[in-house]
């Protein structure tokens, strides 16, 4: 997803939203030769704008993260039990967005989130993609979605996370998948091939869909465009295909942020476990954006999935029944171990 981190976590503070790195680059930030042959997943990625990279983490390591995420949900003491589906309701869970995306409560800086961001095999994906070791990461959330929740209404919300004014490949999103994720287990739905048609689609004036989950207008999302049904058809008519991405524990998925996508709720009996991760070259960031990242890191605020710009410190308090959630906390339960690598990825320490 993951820049739409608001609806249930609406702010209680009247301060204006501020966003750093607001410049819109109108070209690719890196030149990729269309005819180059990589001999690995990059060939598929550059062709279709998305790719699943298999077995990035071992099954055991993926299970470790599933366990950590469940442990985290239980730390709120709201009666959640992963073995008792009757407790899979909002009353027993911390406040999330779209039924399972967690951005508040310091979640984006939990030790487990930073452990995932510093997994060598995950960092290596972004090093290969951008062809540099000098990367910075977003402080994005995780997704733990229980299947068949009766207390949620849901409808597809096809969107892309790049402003139409930004042209070319400027960010590539991803997540590490921790649990088995087959056709009934919800998750990522992508319009394969849509990134390449971004300029053509937006060469005409397009109106955003008025979706029930659209962020409130006072929150200026610079990098979000909600598509309507006609737009979905436009991409299908131009040879794209809407696919639900199936993944095994330890698989990683990458997609160009110009790609139309959304997340579906699970309908089987498997809980979905995901950590969103995104890295871009540090050289893309302005000093102002790096300063904003430092603030977010120090205060345990999350960001959008954009590592180098659109750094919108998310300091909103989670709201429950019109009040700040009584379980609100401003820091992680388990703080990350601060290493040079963490500080570099956070943008605080230069390379």
Q: Which 1-20 residues touch Fe ion, going by CB under 5 A? A: 1
Task: Name which of 1 and 172 has its Cβ closer to Fe ion.
Answer: 1
Task: Name which of 161 and 316 has its Cβ closer to Fe ion.
Answer: 161
Closest CA to 347 of 300, 303, 299, 285: 285
Q: How far is the CB of 297 from Fe ion (least distance, A)?
A: 23
Q: How far is the CB of 1 from Fe ion (least distance, A)?
A: 3
What value, to the nearest 5°, has the Cα angle with vertex 171 and ends 101 and 211? 45
C-alpha 344/C-alpha 198 separation (Å) is 32
Q: Give yes or no for a contact between 272 and 186, defined as CB atoms under 8 angstroms apart.
A: yes
Task: Name which of 1 and 129 has its Cβ closer to Fe ion.
Answer: 1
Q: Give yes or no for a contact between 136 and 179, defined as CB atoms under 8 angstroms apart.
A: no
* β-bridge partners, 302: 314
Task: Name which of 20 and 276 has its Cβ closer to Fe ion.
Answer: 276
**Which residue's Cβ has the minimum distance to Fe ion?**
1
Q: How far is the CB of 97 from Fe ion (least distance, A)?
A: 11
Q: How far is the CB of 241 from Fe ion (least distance, A)?
A: 18
Q: How many residues form the binding site for Fe ion (CB under 5 A)?
A: 2
Q: Give yes or no for a contact between 5 and 314, defined as CB atoms under 8 angstroms apart.
A: yes
Task: Name which of 105 and 276 has its Cβ closer to Fe ion.
Answer: 276
Task: Name which of 161 and 185 has its Cβ closer to Fe ion.
Answer: 161
Q: Which 63-102 residues touch Fe ion, going by CB under 5 A? A: none
Q: Give yes or no for a contact between 332 and 300, defined as CB atoms under 8 angstroms apart.
A: yes
Q: Which 274-333 residues touch Fe ion, going by CB under 5 A? A: none
C-alpha 191/C-alpha 307 separation (Å) is 23
- When asked if residue 222 is in the footprint of Fe ion (CB under 5 A), the reply is no
Q: Give yes or no for a contact between 185 and 266, defined as CB atoms under 8 angstroms apart.
A: yes
Q: How far is the CB of 337 from Fe ion (least distance, A)?
A: 29
Task: Name which of 226 and 342 has its Cβ closer to Fe ion.
Answer: 226
**What are the angstrom distances between the C-alpha of 336 and each of 81, 133, 292, 332?**
25, 22, 19, 8
Torsion of CA 10, 12, 14, 20, to 10 degrees: -50
Q: Which 131-190 residues touch Fe ion, going by CB under 5 A? A: 161
> What six digits make up the tokens of 304?
């959008």
Task: Name which of 161 and 231 has its Cβ closer to Fe ion.
Answer: 161
Q: How far is the CB of 350 from Fe ion (least distance, A)?
A: 30
Q: How far is the CB of 306 from Fe ion (least distance, A)?
A: 11
Q: How far is the CB of 266 from Fe ion (least distance, A)?
A: 17
Binding mask 16-55 for Fe ion (x = CB under 5 A): ----------------------------------------
Q: How far is the CB of 265 from Fe ion (least distance, A)?
A: 15
Task: Name which of 19 and 259 has its Cβ closer to Fe ion.
Answer: 259
Asked whether the CA dihedral 231, 232, 233, 238 is positive or negative, the reply is: positive
First to last CA, the chain: 29
Is residue 238 packed enough to be buried (19+ CB in 10 Å), middle (13-18) or exposed (0-12)?
middle
> What six digits make up the tokens of 115?
């452990």
Residues that bind Fe ion (CB under 5 A): 1, 161
């Amino acid at each position: 997803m993951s820049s739409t981190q608001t609806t249930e976590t609406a702010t209680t503070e009247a301060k204006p939203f501020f966003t750093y790195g607001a410049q819109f680059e109108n070209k690719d930030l890196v030149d990729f030769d269309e005819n180059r042959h990589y001999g690995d997943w990059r060939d598929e990625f550059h062709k279709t704008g998305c790719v699943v990279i298999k077995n990035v983490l071992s099954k055991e390591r993926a299970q470790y993260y599933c366990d950590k995420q469940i442990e985290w949900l239980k730390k709120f003491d709201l009666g959640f039990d992963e073995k008792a589906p009757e407790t899979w309701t909002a009353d027993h869970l911390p406040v999330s967005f779209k039924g399972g995306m967690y951005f508040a409560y310091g979640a984006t800086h939990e030790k487990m989130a930073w452990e995932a961001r510093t997994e060598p095999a995950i960092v290596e994906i972004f090093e290969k993609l951008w062809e540099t070791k000098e990367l910075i990461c977003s402080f994005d959330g995780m997704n733990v979605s229980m299947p068949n929740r009766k207390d949620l209404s849901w409808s597809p919300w096809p969107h892309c996370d790049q402003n139409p004014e930004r042209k070319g490949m400027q960010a590539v999103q991803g997540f590490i998948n921790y649990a088995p994720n087959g056709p009934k287990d919800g998750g990522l739905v992508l319009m394969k091939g849509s990134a390449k048609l971004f300029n053509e689609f937006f060469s005409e004036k397009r109106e955003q869909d008025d979706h029930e989950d659209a962020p409130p207008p006072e929150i200026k999302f610079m990098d979000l465009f909600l598509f309507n049904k006609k737009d979905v058809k436009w991409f299908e008519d131009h040879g794209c295909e809407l696919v639900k991405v199936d993944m095994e524990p330890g698989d990683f998925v990458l997609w160009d942020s110009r790609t139309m996508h959304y997340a579906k709720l699970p309908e089987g009996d498997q809980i979905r476990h995901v950590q969103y991760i995104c890295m871009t070259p540090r050289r893309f960031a302005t000093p102002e954006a790096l300063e904003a990242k430092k603030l977010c890191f120090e205060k345990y605020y999350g960001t959008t999935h954009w590592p180098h710009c659109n750094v919108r410190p998310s300091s909103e308090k989670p709201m429950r029944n019109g009040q700040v959630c009584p379980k609100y906390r401003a820091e992680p339960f388990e703080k990350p171990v601060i290493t040079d690598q963490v500080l570099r990825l956070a943008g605080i320490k230069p390379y």
